[in-house]
Amino acid sequence: MAGSDGSTSRARMIASTAKLVARQGLAGTGFARVIQESGAPRGSIYHHFPGGKAELAEEAVRFVGQRTEATIRSLPAESAADTMADFVDLWRSVVLRGDGSGCAVAGSVLDVDSADERSAALLDVAHDIFSSWSAALAERFASAGLSEEAAAALATSALASMEGALILSRAAGGPGPLEVVGDQLAVLARAAS
């Protein structure tokens, strides 16, 4: 049973870190806040994450990456326009939650000190995650009838646009920028079909 509690504590710390990084970036996410948010025992961070904050951040980003990739892969692919609308809805839900959250993957990348080897490894993790999201979305567009080349280009454009739209929407305090970008992506998806 102790292993189960330890696994649960570890999972709660990862999920809490992901939420905190999405809200306040990596630099603004400290161990004390992770403990407070997760309800994990005080000494458990270094027990579960001997690599410290960098290891915890990597696990949190991977957690978000895997969940988001699975969601993208589950999008219906009846048409490129419908797939794009569903993809934009994923990002809209982040903005409409109203808790100031952005993307935990982007939130971790912006704060990475590339001179620190362990922290810089997070850039590789983020790159792999963004690549997997783009590939998953490209697969959905290809399933909807686009050529592989057109699907890949549209997926990269959509992902980059939505990441930027999250930042602009956060600064604006509402979904306005995301709605504008979503409308433009819909035009691109219809044109690519």
pLDDT in tens, the chain (193 residues): 344 556 788 999 999 999 999 888 888 888 889 989 998 887 888 889 888 888 899 999 999 999 999 999 999 889 999 999 999 999 999 888 877 678 889 888 887 777 777 777 889 999 999 999 999 999 999 999 999 999 999 999 999 999 999 999 989 988 999 999 999 999 999 999 8
Instruction: Check residue 70 and give its pLDDT.
Output: 97
CA-closest candidate to residue 14, choices 50, 51, 47, 48: 48
**CB hemisphere CA count around 107 (13 angstroms):** 26
Distances (CA, A) of 125 to 64, 134, 189: 11, 14, 29
Instruction: Check residue 2 and give its pLDDT.
Output: 40
Domains in the chain, please, with CATH? 54-192 (1.10.357.10)
Measured between alpha carbons, how far is 72 from 55 in angstroms, rounded to an integer?
Answer: 26
